[in-house]
Amino acid sequence: MAHSRKKRNRSYLAVLALIVGISVFAFATRNRGKKPADAAKGTPAATAPTALAAPSQTPDKVTLAQGADAPVRTETPTSGSKTPAPTASKQPAPTAAKPDPATATQAADKQTGRPPTNTTAPTSKPFVIDPAAPLALSAAKRQIEGGDFLAARATLNTALPSLSGIELDAAKTMLADVNKTIVFSNKRFADDPFGGTYKVQSGDVLQKIAASHGLSWEMLCRVNGMSDPKRLRAGATIKILQGPFHAVVSKSQFRLDLYLGAPGGQGSMFVTSVPVGLGKSNSTPTGTWKVNDTKQKNPKFWGFDDLPPMAADDPKNPLGEFWLGLDGISGAALGAEGFGIHGTIEPDTIGKNASHGCIRLRNGDIDLVWEALVPGKSTVVITD
């Protein structure tokens, strides 16, 4: 009996062990894949796209290759199927499941053999050149190459107010070059709004013709290639310009710009530029000046401070060969007298503050400016 009871007890224990084992196995199978963190929160687990985490999936083919507005491709496992089913969603993948863009891009670069991509965002906006600047310069260059100087000048002159820096300097250089032909040569352009022709009448003199157009007779001699103003023949046709000329002096750039028409006004035209020397210790007043009637060629120097008076032909005469007197009419120049534009015997002072306040020009430049500016009609604006 005792032996039979022991045998039954062992059978009960075996059955009990089997039941416990089955229960444990069933419990483990039911909770497989459930994350402890998600269970503790009481919220459903995030449905991160398994394609982004799968080692065999290339990240840039899933997200980086798509546009910003394109649906983000995600892949969700379907029960009973080994192959993930693709779905489309307008919502971006959760942040936690996204790969780092820099890492993803570098991984794509490795696979394609491209050089590494710089993914660092720029700290400031890149400098963008105004597209109108190179377009105007390029168009004018083509017009010059095609021989249409008037069109090139109009293109550049119209663009000037919108240009600055190297584009402005380039435009002025091109304008000065075309104006050597249009303005200062004896070549005539019938459609030039700043030029034209005049048929000489019996009894005309060059000085009278020049004055009626706001010009000096010396300028008319220059543009017509004439050496003697008295050799004017009735019935002949000569080239004229629509004056007067005006000037703008930039102190910071040591430059004088010559214009036909009031600078900055309606219909004004830039003609050319020349370098200048100015007054030391900021002694050249800014403002507007008018050319007065002391305009002289080969002037006498009357002396100033420690400099004694000098004769017109004295090689030490600091005025050189030309003098244009100026009267201040507005700004800091208002009421100022004794200032002028003149030549120099010290060409190395051009581009420097070295005079007693006057504006100095080199030989060759002063000749042209002296001929262009007319007493009582031409103005000079001096700016900082």
Q: Is the pLDDT of residue 215 over 50?
A: yes
Q: What's the N-to-C CA distance of the chain in angstroms?
A: 128
What token pair was written down for 3? Answer: 């032996």
At 375 the three-state DSSP class reads coil
C-alpha to C-alpha distances, 216 to 3, 210, 243, 266, nearest whole angstrom: 148, 6, 9, 23
Q: Is the pLDDT of residue 118 over 50?
A: no
**Mean pLDDT value across the chain:** 77
**Mind listing the pLDDT tens digit for each residue in 37-61?**
333 333 333 333 333 333 333 333 3
Catalogue all structural domains in the chain, each as residue range(s) with its CATH number: 131-182 (no CATH), 186-243 (3.10.350.10), 244-384 (2.40.440.10)
pLDDT at 41: 34
What one-letter code names the amino acid at 253?
Q
* Rounded Cα–Cα distance for residues 66 and 83 (Å): 23
Q: Is the pLDDT of residue 376 over 80?
A: yes
Tokens 């019935």 correspond to: 235
C-alpha to C-alpha distances, 337 to 228, 248, 254, nearest whole angstrom: 34, 18, 21
What one-letter code names the amino acid at 161?
P
**Mind listing the pLDDT tens digit for each residue in 164-201?**
999 999 999 999 999 999 999 999 999 999 999 999 99
pLDDT at 19: 53
* Rounded Cα–Cα distance for residues 20 and 32 (Å): 18
* Rounded Cα–Cα distance for residues 335 and 75 (Å): 86
**Mind listing the pLDDT tens digit for each residue in 280-301?**
999 999 999 999 999 999 999 9
C-alpha to C-alpha distances, 141 to 101, 193, 259, nearest whole angstrom: 46, 21, 21
pLDDT at 84: 41
- Lowest mean pLDDT, pick from 15-24, 59-68, 77-86, 336-345: 59-68
